[in-house]
Structure 1
């Protein structure tokens, strides 16, 4: 019922649960049929099989009717049976047609073309165009109607056939086309319009999932001719095959040969037959086959592939059509007609021979059909099936039984429904298991999507152990959630996610959460790298994760409804993005009750209105300009980028808000006019080990690359503002184990030298002095090992480069357009500056992006401010720490602001110091002018 309701809504929860445009609005016919099947008592697994059987029966009936209309009395019983059997058991319908968005339009294509065929023969009537429109309507608009639109490529072949084989006039044919188009739009507008409105959402998601080039790597003419080439068939993650049940098409010699015999038979039929339907087969193949091949080969595309790539790059919304294999039904239709022609040619020859020859032909055709439909007979027709554990069923039942309309906030996030108990799917199980809405982070998000930005920020903070005492509960309130579900059975080890114990510890320590109930035996499916009930050895090797339950539900104190009214005078106007939520909760600025608005969403008129309502501003160093990876949940970004660097360089869409507006982002700025760059690592982006770390004069930081032995060939370079004499270059290789860089090539201008290097030992490069504006170092060799390797320092004439993170200038830019009373209101509103050093996991200093807090921020007007800071105990001089423990904390120099020292004292109690966290408060007020300020701490 919930699925049926969602199909007629233009706005749906989406993968994150926070809402998106509905590009599946056309699923209503599907939802209605499934609802009827389930209402009759069929369980989910049986409903799927009944549904697929119904579609195949509809398709079989349709192809019989279509071929009967096309060939008339020339279609023999044997040819009709052969074609019908081929239509429902060919490789394309088994592999690609295993999903409803493809199988449903596939089953209805014969009916659609039957109506069009009759329409070309009776061009004066509206009857057949109307039936064409109804058939198109029944194909539904699943996935924005991509497959139904693809299948319209069957029309050019039919038009050519009608014009030159059946003698129809162009004027009549264009009349038919216009009427069919009107009929389609009239009955399908209910899903076409929402899909159009959701084009931005769909394009953003498409940009962050499969790349057109990657999709096309398997779609050669040979593979598409045998009706395969769909990329998941050839993919795997480690040793796990994406579609293991269908790999018989790649590994069984008899099956492979049989699938190649089909296009061979079609070719023989076209050669031996003299029937006019040959023109239709050629027309269908000419329109469908090049599109199905798509961009293959990626590095040397055919003309049609080059044209498709230009369309994809020029019109982002067309990325929905990037999986060109979905046009396969048109090619199957062509091959079906071709097989009929081949069979008629065979019958013509066999009728002149003995009965034994005809029987042999029938037997060979039957064996061919059995071979090409092997998954139907070896038990792998439905390769994806899961037994959902009782822990999940019980938890879902209890969550739904509350009767609450509030969301359930799910932690940790993931890249799909991949669990240690066996489920492997790009889609999570919540839509089919829970009636209540959920909010959960998915790595598949639209470019700059607000929901994806917020959920990613909170999920990463939890994954790194930085959610604090209020982070999760505060986020839950803003998400309209009254319960938090912690799932410890998620396969986080495959996506760089957190260990279960880290998430549970933070949920237990959140002062706004209270444990309601746990589900399942502790340790079952909770130990990374293991599944099921743990062995004694597994428990002893990972006692923390073995002690947590598979699922835990927490109640949120004082939850907030998803839709509510808030006091506008308490609004918090944040310069930054969703990453600011956890730090602001730590500081007590927000707790879920105050309305939060991002200044980047405001124009100057919005700002004037906000100033009249009151509230406070918070300037942060969040909304960092980053490229993002799609297959990891933590350490899955580039370092903070410069304003001009490529924010779309990752495998996924960036979650940075306003991705094309660097002024609204925190960006990296290098001192002295230098430019530093490096080759991207082979195993995905990572925030730590940025290239500038090799030029910062700090031997404890380093540029890192070369995981799994991939370092050789990677380069790092510095471009100088202008050419200068370079006489001294010193290189210090990072001390990494077991693998480390052992040889490098250094290029200074046109000169180069190869040097053997030793980790941790500075090496003066023996290169002749020369004038150059670039120095480049390339890793040539590294020792054995899988760990990253790198270079800690490259000293070029003693140059030290400072990498400053400039915070968003959004508020200052908007304030420049204010005057009079609005400026006075701005000056009267409180303004906080909240800055956080970019770090990784709490207990792993090796994945920190920044070793120091180095910021440039801008104020819209003069302010007198106080100073507070939180530090780890290890970052403070032991003598200062001892004095604080003795109750004798004095004012110490802790930071440099605009070239002057900032003094502060430790105000933590001895117990707080013992816990490892120190709180500092400034000794003097800070008088700051309007404009830019530099802080180093």
Structure 2
């Protein structure tokens, strides 16, 4: 394709334009700041990352791990950043040069491919810019730019395929292999998806007759052999990781998540990748995404439509090839969308994704470079056709198309392409360097454990994506992140420990014993996290829990202790903040807690003094808190004792046997690091295979008696779902609908559709049921109710309208025929809000209680029996039984307790005498009457701050200015506190002291009552902030006598 264009058709000008557009806007974006792209250690210490990349086993990471995709950093990204470090470039400049080089490679590759096809003139620049500046790159440019390498390499691969087909020999096939080696090492699935392009091009050439089949097959064979020869290094790495590493594919996004976003319209404009549409607590995951739902939306559709228009009205040599690539890219990208009703081909692919091999190809939108390449060809062909029709118009039309292409990627020239939420300063704070040097001085015989875990390393000073500490020191390091590393056993133990930290349940007494077991010599408390982003523990609260933990030497602090305050995007003025004691100590940004009597990573233990635990990692954490772990004694799990020799030595009289209520049969999700485990299921309960987010990590062998399970009598309860689709909230479990308590409930569908959800009640035996009583669940801020309910009674069906009486006790009574029934299914048919386009902010629905006339339900938790089954006799070994109530933090009132009490059943085949000990505390849900001091006046409040006993009404009369009665968060009008004395007394000179600390609203007027009779109303100044955070006001009311003051 030729034209007579002059200016825009010159090779040098086109190359300069592509280079300027690729580099200059990126260099002008957020100068001095580094985006959290790919891997933090490329910037912190690329030499160390390169040194470790060839090794599949890395003992210094996560207590030893088989790496995932790490070998790909050997080329080209690792050497690129190493070179930048070697010549002294600032990290941010090296990053911008890397990103610009990826874009330029894509643009130059497109230009070279089209020149291979015979194109000349301004059309080359139009097509090259169109490909280089596709919105597709927004999905990855500031987080996973290495995934853009296959996109950048595709046009080079296409050009090499064309040349290999034209000329015999191995030259172009060999170069093809080298290109795939360069662009495919980190993410093989992306390479395979764009690799469809060269294969399809060859096939199309054979079908249309432009090349004989024999030549096509020979070309494909040469290219295939070159591809295999140059890719063997990462292929072997993937094979090793898949066999010996964690099942990472199953622990990250499932195909349904990908499929739901892969709609044809979105893919058509170069988008459609699920991450592009995600929203976090601080904003969009990909910040430029908001532009493409607003003013940029028309243009993003106009350009591909213009390309199709060009294909419809002009003819050129490779029009069929371009259209084939567009269709193929869209078909592959769409895959099995919609997931629940795909096309016949989509159904085949959906079923394929249930296998490991198919799941590896789940990110089907990464085939979009095929469509983008075809669309870019059509746009360029349109410009060339205009030049042939009206030669004088070619330059203006080509320039206009280039402007539109640049405008379509508006975040690039608006300075927003690198999101502010994924950036950090060029320099890491000095206190982290100081902490790293301190830790390195202790040698590498022990590990460093960093707490708390975090989904990603978002610090108050910036987001690095990965924790910075491993990139600054040489000690072995372990910390919990969203995607687990290590072995199944080590990952489970780390998750168990960190879950206690995240949920506010950590027993500080168990931390040092667990650290010794893990070979940890120092624990680092990172108190500079952006805690509101991933709901990690508040630094002040966690430091209060850990600073006096036994088993540690004096804490070593780095950095100046300052208040870590949530940002204005999400200030988190909540129960955690308001319940914090006045004057609580702020921790330093980094604190090192040295473990006393630390155990080295490599050590020996006495096999005759084993600690054998029936349970799992959660049981081990619980046992550590009770002082049952000892250095020098190996810990074995009874479920894994399959070797008779090991069994005999482990269960001798010198052993310590620990029976726990862990290793529960329960679901597990990995989309966050909080609320990841489901409720304890029955042994006969069917797992919902349709819930692809439930991925249970196989840690211990499953044999009869190894699991803790639920046993339900009277009524067995099942449900289509519970809680919400993102996390597991065991407090919303199905059995709570029949447990006889109105303060628990089964709920389902939080921020999701609920029509079709159902609760199934199965009676032990058929029984006559005269009626059902329904009390709907009422969670905090309840804004949706079930209105239409379908009741299935075995084979009979009846529809019921639930009215307002079902929303409060005693509930709505529904009369039945009284016939014998075995199975009752309650199906949600509609709610008062109807069907919505989206359900953000909409609460779930369910039942606090379903009363089945004449039938009562009961549930107990059965402990594992494998330990006593293995032993068969009483060896005289020490035996401890550790039971733990599943609970949630009461300061999170939107969460319900999984267990309000404990009901356990265990089987001990021999007689033993036990010493009973445990921990008990006042329930945060306790009624004020239970908290009264018998010798003191009675105090009652209309309501108090959830989860904090110190904020109850009696704090208003305790003469302690550091405590206060705090009503619940929300409207304060009408809140009241009353003190009642045994006998009448005089109330004189009444004053009121309230907090004016900037965290509380200020009262503007109060009414005072004595014995329920108003004695006056006082107007207050409403001061929100005072010097000492307190304001005392003389109410100026007359004296009064009575028993109670309100």
Normalising by structure 1, report the TM-score.
0.81
Whether the 8 Å contact between 1:525 and 1:531 is mirrored in structure 2 is no
SS at match of 2:192: helix
Report the more deviating stretch, 332-341 or 164-173. 164-173
CA–CA separation in structure 1 for the residues paired with 2:764 and 2:478: 48
Q: Call closer, same or farther: CA 1:473–1:467 in 2, change over 3 Å.
A: same
SS at match of 1:868: coil
Matched, 1:244 2:287: yes
* Match 1:589 to one of 628, 644, 662: 628
Partner of 1:10: 56
CA–CA separation in structure 2 for the residues paired with 1:247 and 1:699: 43
SS at match of 2:247: helix
SS at match of 1:348: helix
Matched, 1:92 2:136: yes
* Match 2:764 to one of 718, 721, 737: 721
Residues 80-159 of structure 1 mapped to structure 2, 5 A cutoff = 80-98=124-142, 99-123=144-168, 125-143=169-187, 145-159=188-202
SS at match of 2:885: coil
Residues 104-253 of structure 1 mapped to structure 2, 5 A cutoff = 104-123=149-168, 125-143=169-187, 145-164=188-207, 167-199=210-242, 204-238=247-281, 240-253=283-296
Q: What is the CA-CA distance between 1:107 and the residue it aligns to? A: 2.4
SS at match of 1:864: coil
Q: Call closer, same or farther: CA 1:283–1:804 in 2, change over 3 Å.
A: same
* Match 1:599 to one of 638, 655, 671: 638
Q: Call closer, same or farther: CA 1:243–1:622 in 2, change over 3 Å.
A: same
Partner of 1:33: 80
SS at match of 1:518: strand
Report the more deviating stretch, 393-402 or 840-849. 840-849
Partner of 2:820: 771
Matched, 1:385 2:415: no
Matched, 1:869 2:917: yes
* Match 1:376 to one of 412, 421, 429: 412
* Match 1:337 to one of 369, 377, 389: 377
CA offsets 1:499-524 (integer angstroms, 9 cap, x no match): 33332123213211234323444443
Whether the 8 Å contact between 1:119 and 1:129 is mirrored in structure 2 is yes
SS at match of 2:151: helix
Q: Call closer, same or farther: CA 1:631–1:493 in 2, change over 3 Å.
A: farther
Q: Call closer, same or farther: CA 1:782–1:729 in 2, change over 3 Å.
A: same
Partner of 1:451: 490
* Match 1:803 to one of 859, 874, 877: 859
CA–CA separation in structure 1 for the residues paired with 2:498 and 2:380: 57
CA–CA separation in structure 1 for the residues paired with 2:83 and 2:221: 35
CA–CA separation in structure 2 for the residues paired with 1:400 and 1:266: 59
Whether the 8 Å contact between 1:682 and 1:710 is mirrored in structure 2 is no
Q: Call closer, same or farther: CA 1:185–1:711 in 2, change over 3 Å.
A: closer
SS at match of 1:674: strand
Whether the 8 Å contact between 1:734 and 1:760 is mirrored in structure 2 is no
Q: Call closer, same or farther: CA 1:399–1:211 in 2, change over 3 Å.
A: farther
Whether the 8 Å contact between 1:728 and 1:765 is mirrored in structure 2 is yes
Structure 1 segments unaligned to the other structure (5+ residues): 816-822, 882-937
Q: What is the CA-CA distance between 1:631 and the residue it aligns to? A: 4.8
Partner of 1:418: 458
Partner of 2:665: 625
Q: Call closer, same or farther: CA 1:766–1:742 in 2, change over 3 Å.
A: farther
Partner of 2:886: 838
Report the more deviating stretch, 188-197 or 285-294. 285-294
CA–CA separation in structure 1 for the residues paired with 2:290 and 2:433: 36
* Match 2:509 to one of 423, 447, 470: 470
Q: Call closer, same or farther: CA 1:827–1:265 in 2, change over 3 Å.
A: same
CA offsets 1:610-636 (integer angstroms, 9 cap, x no match): 548874432221121222344554444
Q: What is the CA-CA distance between 1:804 and the residue it aligns to? A: 1.8
Partner of 1:290: 331
Whether the 8 Å contact between 2:61 and 2:486 is mirrored in structure 1 is no
Q: Call closer, same or farther: CA 1:706–1:149 in 2, change over 3 Å.
A: closer
Q: What is the CA-CA distance between 1:433 and the residue it aligns to? A: 5.1
CA–CA separation in structure 2 for the residues paired with 1:149 and 1:646: 33
Partner of 2:904: 855
CA–CA separation in structure 2 for the residues paired with 1:232 and 1:87: 21
Report the more deviating stretch, 111-120 or 504-513. 111-120
Residues 46-61 of structure 1 mapped to structure 2, 5 A cutoff = 46-61=93-108
Alignment size in residue pairs: 854
Partner of 1:931: none
Q: What is the CA-CA distance between 1:100 and the residue it aligns to? A: 2.5
Partner of 2:121: 77
RMSD over equivalenced CA pairs, Å: 4.0
CA–CA separation in structure 2 for the residues paired with 1:710 and 1:376: 37
Matched, 1:666 2:715: no
Partner of 2:312: 271
CA–CA separation in structure 1 for the residues paired with 2:755 and 2:226: 61
Q: What is the CA-CA distance between 1:447 and the residue it aligns to? A: 13
CA–CA separation in structure 2 for the residues paired with 1:788 and 1:872: 32
Matched, 1:482 2:529: no
Residues 467-616 of structure 1 mapped to structure 2, 5 A cutoff = 467-526=506-565, 543=582, 547-605=586-644, 607-608=646-647, 610-611=649-650, 615-616=655-656
Q: Call closer, same or farther: CA 1:632–1:171 in 2, change over 3 Å.
A: closer
Q: What is the CA-CA distance between 1:525 and the residue it aligns to? A: 2.2
Normalising by structure 2, report the TM-score.
0.73
Partner of 2:996: none
Report the more deviating stretch, 454-463 or 709-718. 709-718
Partner of 1:902: none
CA–CA separation in structure 2 for the residues paired with 1:348 and 1:844: 69
Structure 2 segments unaligned to the other structure (5+ residues): 1-46, 834-840, 931-1046
Q: Call closer, same or farther: CA 1:522–1:484 in 2, change over 3 Å.
A: same
Q: What is the CA-CA distance between 1:290 and the residue it aligns to? A: 0.9
Whether the 8 Å contact between 1:501 and 1:544 is mirrored in structure 2 is no
Matched, 1:349 2:366: no
CA–CA separation in structure 2 for the residues paired with 1:798 and 1:51: 72
Whether the 8 Å contact between 1:496 and 1:632 is mirrored in structure 2 is no
Q: Call closer, same or farther: CA 1:634–1:259 in 2, change over 3 Å.
A: closer
Q: What is the CA-CA distance between 1:710 and the residue it aligns to? A: 8.9
Partner of 1:926: none
SS at match of 2:265: helix
Q: What is the CA-CA distance between 1:296 and the residue it aligns to? A: 3.0
CA offsets 1:886-932 (integer angstroms, 9 cap, x no match): xxxxxxxxxxxxxxxxxxxxxxxxxxxxxxxxxxxxxxxxxxxxxxx
Partner of 2:970: none
Residues 808-823 of structure 1 mapped to structure 2, 5 A cutoff = 808-811=864-867
Q: Call closer, same or farther: CA 1:281–1:700 in 2, change over 3 Å.
A: closer
SS at match of 1:669: strand
SS at match of 1:509: coil
SS at match of 2:898: coil
Q: Call closer, same or farther: CA 1:467–1:647 in 2, change over 3 Å.
A: farther
CA–CA separation in structure 2 for the residues paired with 1:705 and 1:640: 17
Higher relative helix content: 1
